Structure 1
Amino acid sequence: MNKKYLFITQATISTVLSVACLNSVKVKADKVDTPAVLLQQENTAKKSDDPLLNGKYVSNGYTDNGYTYLNPTNTSSERASSYHLDTKEGWSNDLQTIMYDSENKEWVIYYLHTEKVINGDAGAKQNWQRVTTKDFINFSEPTIAIKDLKGDIGDAWSSAWTGSIVVNQGNISGVPKGAQVAFFSGLSNKDNQQNVWAAWSDDNGKTFSHPLNDKKIILDHYWPWTSINRSDERDPAVFYWHGKLVMYIAEGDNIGVYKSDNGTNWSNANENQTDSKIPNSVFFKGLPFEAPVECPVLRSMTTASGKTKQVLFFGAKSPQAKQTTGTYYVVGHLDDKGMFTAETEAKRLDQGTDYYGANFSGSSDLEKADDSLISMGWIGNWNYTNSGIKANQEGFLPDSNRIGTYSLARKIKLEDNLTVTSSPITTGLEEKTTKNSEGQVSSQKAIDNGYYSLLNLTKQPANSKYVLHFSTKDGNAYQGAVRIIFNQGKDNNTLILDPASGKYRLDGESSELSGNAANYYKNGYESGMGYINDSGLKGTHDFTITVFTDKNAIEIFFDNGQTATVARFCVNNIQDVAVDAQDESKNNKYDISYSQVGKDLLGFEEKETSTSSNDNGHSSSNNSNTTGANNSNESTTSVSNKNESKTDEETSSTQDSKIGHKRTVMHDSWVYDAKGKKTLVKIKAGAAISTYGTKKINGKNYYSLASNQYVLATNVVGVKRTLRHNSFIYNDKGQRIKRYFLKKKKAVVTYGGAIKLGKSLYYIVDKNMYVKKANF
């Protein structure tokens, strides 16, 4: 599918309409039953004066204080994610099909790819790319599955757009039974107009190099019995129904339905042109529609109670309902001819701004129902993507030439109430040291608008996972808003949830966008307040929000199966994170854990990592393991002084042995058994652990972790040593940290035994901070 001609116009029109409606939205705000807390219009984003976040102290080709990439190319890495599927070059958007290869025991994913973007024109050399994965976290190098045939003779395709794949059941002419056949739209070499082609694969879907019908069009929008508007004919979804091939295809205001006995010759599914269309009043039931519809996909799904329904997924938008482009679904059933009847109103599969061009696993024979599907979506939105995304935070050229990221894979189910729920598939996602903060909301530092600061973290990895659990002490409904803010220099994104109503607001700013695109990203349809949605959590007393962040994405998962996905464009690999909550009734509790997930990101690394790591970002991470801590502005010196006061005896207590105490391991630590014998388990420095009292084994003090598991106490709380000389502090490379030194006769807490850095022995005195052993 290509939006080159259609969406440039529509993006401009929709943005102008949204701007024109800003004043009217203000007037109507009281009429849409929006909670007052979501209508607060002051900028809640917490700007940072951190010089790193203003573009300094960076390397790897970034410069000019604005995150400018010096020479963005079709393959440059400024937008490479940590654990999401990205394009390796050029642009990419719609997903085609997700299939399981039982022979190789891996999943195969196809997506629409544009090899080269010229001045924002995504129309050059479009093809299908193919990747494989076993866990939806790690992906193979992409290969081309369907090539563009630009310049070919006749009416072959000059570009390959969105479509679908079926396995031949034996009735597709000229194709071996069991072979995969791709049906796809594109532009014709003959007249550069939208049409449909097909090709089959002789190598298990690696390439589709055998065109049906001698490369000729199999469905043409010019034919008098096809598309009513004589322009749209794209994104064919082909499936089997009662042994016949059926095609659902996007035709502007309608979805056209066609049938075929042999895969090459098609006709209207229901006798005539008009009766073979599914109008938007059916597939978009309950919402005002604005053309076009795109990317239809139909699957049969079974509910938990055993009911089988057909679910029609598609791309659309409803600006009149204050909804952006997104992937929607409607549940119903098919008649014998393959015509769809809706039994529910249309709903968004993901309520964020940027889950589009989605596709799904599942059988292409709709007489076989699936109890769950795997879904992935393109994290993008044509209202700003096609306007050019700058490689800097100043909003000026150059544009990035490599753009295209896909969501985490999600397992989706059809519930008995005929709603679809989603949960992330992350079993293959590496998760580093998890840190935790918990307590009563009203016991934390009070800030603006009745909020209390629960977390205030700086210099966190942009590739992270946050699990936020909120509940009430008495089991009554949760009262008071929850707010999460992500900052990356000039960019920010905010989620505010009002559990009393279940509604939430998403808004943000992106300085890599400019003009109408930047306005759309910030203002949406809510007059500067982003997008207001319903989580379905109204009246809950206990709920969890899980947020995955990566270079190009924020994905939010509510514990009732609802989701919200937002694209972001800052190429920095760190972020500031604030979590705040209200608690007027003094009844609310929280438990928050967070960790880096996925491999380390590329780009925007500090030139002097050790120096900066000793600023506020370090102390925030260290204090986050203290129950109820407010991780804000504590310096390295105060961290050291706090640790100096701890001894084995002082930290051991009856309470500790019963409920546990959260601590940070400061030195790589082996785990021992009750006899002091070393096990095969090793805990890395910086890891968070829970301890349950102390135990003396063979004359040494250990902390108890769990049944028959112990670590040396000196690796956790350390021992006091007095300096005999003035001492510099060094980082883990043995390099002096120029800003810090310790005076002789000072008592300093050291952790574990001395370690060798270069040619000298050092004691660990804090995270990434070392003092020479000879100075004690």
Structure 2
Amino acid sequence: MKIMKILGILGVCLLLPFIETLSVEAGTLTSNECQQYYHHNIEQGFMNDVQSVWQDEEGYYHIYYLADLNYKHDNDGTEWYHVKTKDFIHYENLGIAIPKFQNKWEAVATGSVIKNTSGFFSDLPKQAIVSYFTSYTPNGQKQFAAYSTDNGLTYKPYSDDAVMTSPSTTAHFRDPYVFINKKTNKLTMYLAEGDKIGVYSSENGKKFDYVGAISLNKYALNGKDLGLIECPNLKTMYDVSTGATKEVLFFGGNGYNYGQTSGSYYMVGHLSDEGVFIVEQQPKRVDDGSDFYASNYFQTANNTNIISIAWLGNWSYSAKKIIDANYEQSYKLGSLSLAHKLNLTQKDGQYILKSSLIKPYSCLTNKTSQYVEASKQTRKTDGYYQLLNTRRWTSQNFYLQMTNQNQGKVNGHIKLSFKQKDSTVLFDYNADTGYYNVQRQTTNIADEEGNSEYSRIFTENSGVINPETFKLHVYVDKASIELEFENSERTYSLLKYTTDDDLSFKVETNSENNLFYTMSNIENSH
């Protein structure tokens, strides 16, 4: 990865990076026009769903995700790719763990893993890791099982054939999540089945029986369904404020009935004796952004928090025709999000997940800071004060603190603008209501439908109304922006399609809100 050499000038003046750039080979499976700098990128081709997050005895977090190393070429199709990390910033590639078109499965799709530490799989050693995954076949979606005895590097078939087969060639029947039901001492499997999650039980991990379903249609969700359900996951969480232990069901859905796009959702509830999730609350988003999908979750030992990481992507445009300035199609696409730390707490009688980013502090360089008083700036004809106007390298950390000494609380609108030669992202936060709008434009989506979806205006609730101090973390990379509202511990993750390493960033307000900011380059040598 490139190393930055920066000539820094404090304040809002230009920071001009001298970059030793990699050669861009647009139109190839290894081109870098959409390359992220401090997020993990796929080595070639296209990535999507995150499969599992688990930790080994040396403290490494292991992550599987779906990779198509021959995206839109011969031998197209996904398989499980394996990386490990200790900090969710520096990753080591470990290659393909479960290859496609081998044994009796074809392309390998979403699933999960379970360690055999309890000895449930009596014919396997306790150090074995067992994976369950979907494969799309001409006869429908099938669930296969495989096991690893080399710390998850390679897998062998655990059963001679599929352990489950869809009831028809067109049925949605995929994305198995498995766990040991302590009440029955059986293996429970959750399967995404259209607008519900089927629940199955097994005594040996190879033969499964139906025990119930979790309905997520419009009747179960107060008339607003979430479309096609994918990627179920279940975690037990402990609320330190109340002492309560709750089950939290995670899944992917589409929020078009809620004014949102696809994303990762959660619901709070409890389990029946058979392992069926009983809903207690309506669904909420894990991350409010447009591009935090197919996320997976690592449970800490004491159940007080969860680490979540997702595919930065959206099926409405991520797999469309993405191009560069020369109209060459991009075939290397996809990165992981920053990791999120999730905590369960009660607010207004409801359980909610607070989300904060695991920040790349070890990678920050060339830090600068300044305090800007709005009243000392010239108010523009549109009624806004310009508090910050700077050019930076595209890989940036901005931390913004805003106060209003005249009125005691931050009020009015605060606008953030991120502009590059082929991309614009605008945030407009209304401190009086807590809501903010997000709008994007790019010249790099050649598909009309995909570009229209990408350019939609989204409105979200930050949960922060007229604070005494407004605190916002902003993490910008080549192809993404991730926000954390520190006051409410909410996050927003999005993609931005650009080939430009030069970023223009502005902060404006239409009230006398003063700004203290710090900004740093984020450099990751990998």
TM-score (ref. length: structure 2): 0.90
Q: Structure 2 CA distance, aligned partners of 1:79 and 1:380?
A: 13
Whole-angstrom CA distance in 2 between matches of 1:282 and 1:307? 29
Amino acid aligned to 2:46: W
Which position in structure 2 is the counterpart of 1:302? 238
Superposed CA deviations along residues 716-741 of structure 1, whole A, max 9, x for unmatched, are: xxxxxxxxxxxxxxxxxxxxxxxxxx
**SS of residue paired to 2:366:** coil
Give yes or no for contact 1:137–1:428 (8 Å, CA) kept in 2.
Answer: no
What's the Cα RMSD here? 2.4
| SS at structure 1 position matched to 2:382 | helix
Give the whole-Å Cα distance in 1 for the aligned partners of 2:514 and 2:223.
38
Correspondent of 1:193 among 140, 162, 167: 140
Which of the residues 227, 239, 249 maps onto 2:191? 249
In the alignment, the residues of structure 1 paired with residue 336 and residue 384 of structure 2 have an alpha-carbon distance, to the nearest angstrom, of 34
Higher share of residues assigned strand: 2
Shift of 1:60: 5.5
CA distance in 2, matches of 1:489, 1:326: 28
Residue correspondence of structure 1 range 267-666 to structure 2 within 5 A: 267-269=209-211, 276-281=212-217, 285-286=221-222, 288-305=224-241, 306-362=243-299, 370-392=303-325, 396=327, 398-417=328-347, 418-426=351-359, 429-458=362-391, 460-473=392-405, 476-514=408-446, 515-522=448-455, 524=456, 530-559=457-486, 560-583=488-511, 586=512, 588-599=513-524
Task: Name structure 2 gaps, 5 residues minimum.
Answer: 1-13
Shift of the 428–206 alpha-carbon distance from structure 1 to 2, 3 Å rule, reads farther
* Equivalent residue, structure 2, for 1:85: 40
Asked whether the equivalents of residues 384 and 520 of structure 1 are also in contact (C-alpha less than 8 Å), the reply is: yes
Paired letter, 1:317:
N
State the alpha-carbon separation in 1 of the partners of residues 362 and 387 from structure 2.
Answer: 26
Match of 1:202 in 2: 149
CA deviations over 1:193-225 (Å, ceiling 9, x no partner)? 2111110111121111x21221x11111127xx
- Structure 1 residue 212 and structure 2 residue 158: aligned? yes
Q: Does the aligned pair in 1 maintain the 2:386–2:508 contact within 8 Å?
A: yes
Whether contact under 8 Å (2:271, 2:277) holds in the other structure is yes
Distance in 2 between residues matched to 1:78 and 1:173, nearest whole Å:
49
Q: Deviations over 1:313-351 (max 9, x none)?
A: 111012122110000111111111111112221111111
Q: Secondary structure at the match of 1:323?
A: coil
**Structure 2 counterpart SS, 1:566:** strand
Residue identity in the other structure for 1:211: P
Please tell me whether the aligned partners of residues 94 and 153 of structure 2 are also in contact (alpha carbons under 8 angstroms): no
Q: Which residue of 1 aligns with 2:91?
A: 139
For 2:53 and 2:371, the matched residues in 1 are separated by 40
Distance 1:494 1:83 in 2: 22
Task: Give the Cα separation in 2 of the matches to 1:96 and 1:537.
Answer: 33
1:414-472: CA deviation from partner (whole Å, max 9, x where unpaired): 113311111121256311121112132232232253211011112x1100000111122
The equivalent position to 2:78 in structure 1, one of 112, 120, 126, is: 126
Work out the CA distance in 2 between the residues paired with 1:511 and 1:137: 29
Question: How many equivalent residue pairs?
Answer: 502
> Offset of 1:369 from its aligned partner?
5.9
- The 1:142–1:73 alpha-carbon spacing in structure 2 relative to 1, beyond 3 Å, is farther
Distance in 2 (alpha carbons) for counterparts of 1:337 and 1:219 = 19
Question: Per the alignment, in what secondary structure is the counterpart of residue 299 of structure 2?
Answer: coil
Q: Deviations over 1:228-286 (max 9, x none)?
A: x95111111101121221111111111111111111000012xxxxxx11111499735
Letter in 1 for 2:306: L
Answer whether contact 2:82 2:94 (CA < 8 A) is retained: yes
1:184 maps to which of 114, 126, 133? 133
Percentage identity across aligned positions? 30
Q: Report the CA distance shift for 1:298/1:287 in structure 2 as closer, same or farther (over 3 A).
A: farther
Give the CA deviation at 1:187: 1.7
Structure of higher RCO (CA pairs closer than 8 Å, 6+ residues apart) = 2
Do 1:547 and 1:554's aligned partners in 2 also have CA atoms closer than 8 Å? yes
Tell me how far apart the structure 2 counterparts of residues 531 and 88 of structure 1 sit (CA, whole Å). 32
Per the alignment, residue 113 of structure 1 pairs with: 67
Tell me, yes or no, if the aligned pair for 1:170 and 1:177 is still in contact at 8 Å: yes
- How high is the TM-score relative to the length of structure 1? 0.62
Q: List structure 1 segments (4+ residues) > 4 angstroms apart after TM superposition.
A: 57-61, 281-284
Q: State the Cα distance separating 1:192 from its structure 2 match.
A: 5.4
**Counterpart amino acid of 1:135?**
D
**Does the CA-based 8 Å contact 1:136-1:428 persist in structure 2?**
no
- Higher mean displacement: 379-388 or 436-445: 436-445
Q: Indicate if the aligned counterparts of 1:285 and 1:344 stay in contact, CA closer than 8 A.
A: no
Give the Å deviation of 1:125. 3.7
Structure ID, larger Rg: 1
Take 1:466 and 1:427, find their aligned partners in 2: how far apart are those partners? 12
Which residue of structure 1 lines up, in the alignment, with residue 113 of structure 2? Answer: 165
C-alpha separation between the residues in 2 aligned to 1:419 and 1:212? 38
Please show how residues 57-76 of structure 1 align to structure 2 within 5 Å.
61=23, 70-76=25-31
Which of the pair is proportionally richer in helix?
1
